[in-house]
Amino acid sequence: MLTLLSPDVIAIWILDAILFLFALLALAVAGQIVARWDVRATTPLQYALEKRAYLAATIVDYIFILKLPLFLYFIYTLDQLSTILPGAMCAAGVTNATVYGMPLFAVKILNLYLFGLWIVLNRIDRAKPDYPYTKAKFWFYIFIFPFFALELGLELLHFGHINPHAIVSCCGTLFSAAKTSAVSTFIQLPAPVILTVFYGTFALILLSWRRRRTGLFALLNLLFVPVAIVSLIALFSTYVYELPHHHCPFCLLQKDYHYVGYLMYATLFAGTFFAPAAWMARRLGYPAAEKWLRWSLAGDTLYLFLVSYYPIAFYLKNGVWL
């Protein structure tokens, strides 16, 4: 129960609880919008709905704006908790302290994508004089709300079930080739296979961008997320650490490695987010689609150069590969 008394955890709980209450308010408005919205009507009800829709959209906007730094604070908190959990060396040990940790991490990332796409749809809707996508965006909000509730539930379960006296596995154990898990399977893949899949996926992204196949470009970017993360764990991270058996994706976020993980993940997630955003914008005739396509490709490319730099620099320095 000591973990529950951590000021960082309590702060996260309070902030997420406040955001959830506002999200509930937006959900109530969303229900009214999808049931009674009629932009052609000139009734007092429609006028009231338009004001409520603006309020709800503003709430969802601010939820996303606050969730971005809150996600970084969540990672920081995991790192801080690793100093009090026996066996934990970084956020990886804290994340795996309960069965809810990894699903929580995945849902948090998924929600950033979902809320981000909602904001894109909201921006496109507000750019039109007749608000043609108001119903659609609130239907979308009703769809993503359960994921937000799931995130809060997993967060409560995870932090609430951490036993501060139990020994947890460190990242060296969790991401070990000797361990029987899906991660160890990928780690044991030959380097040429990992490199072929990683650079091959990027080449397809580049090709789809040149041919302006926006739908394929978005799909490949979504595929690029797991490909990039797995290849980072299996291969590229070892060159950052300059240790052949160190595969942790969390230690990259620490001071010892100049916090390079934040830059890597930021470019990866920004690049892969703007691809589906550009696809949506193009489908709905929003002029920012071309700009977002370039941002997406720039993010993907920067990520590729970042992770490629370390093995090349290591080889030039030592004359061997790990």
Encode pLDDT of 243-277 as tens digits.
888 888 888 888 888 899 999 999 999 999 999 99
The pLDDT > 90 percentage for the chain reads 50
Average the pLDDT over 53-73 and give the result.
Answer: 88
How confident is the model at residue 4, as a pLDDT? 55
The pLDDT tens digits of the residues spanning 200-250 come to 999 999 999 998 899 999 999 999 999 999 999 989 999 999 988 888 888
What angle (nearest 5°) sits at the alpha carbon of residue 70, between those of residues 65 and 73? 145
* Secondary structure of residue 207 in the 3-state scheme: helix
DSSP assignment string, 225-251: HHHHHHHIIIIIHHHHHT-TT---SSG
Give CA–CA dist 179/183, Å, rounded: 8
DSSP state at residue 253: G
Q: Which amino acid would we find at residue 261?
A: G
| Cα dihedral value 272, 274, 276, 279, nearest 10 | -140
What angle (nearest 5°) sits at the alpha carbon of residue 122, between those of residues 116 and 128? 145
Give CA–CA dist 100/161, Å, rounded: 9
Average the pLDDT over 274-287 and give the result.
Answer: 92
Q: Which amino acid would we find at residue 176?
A: S
What does pTM read for this prediction?
0.87
Query: Does residue 178 surpass a pLDDT of 90?
Result: no
How confident is the model at residue 92, as a pLDDT? 82
The pLDDT tens digits of the residues spanning 149-159 come to 999 999 999 98
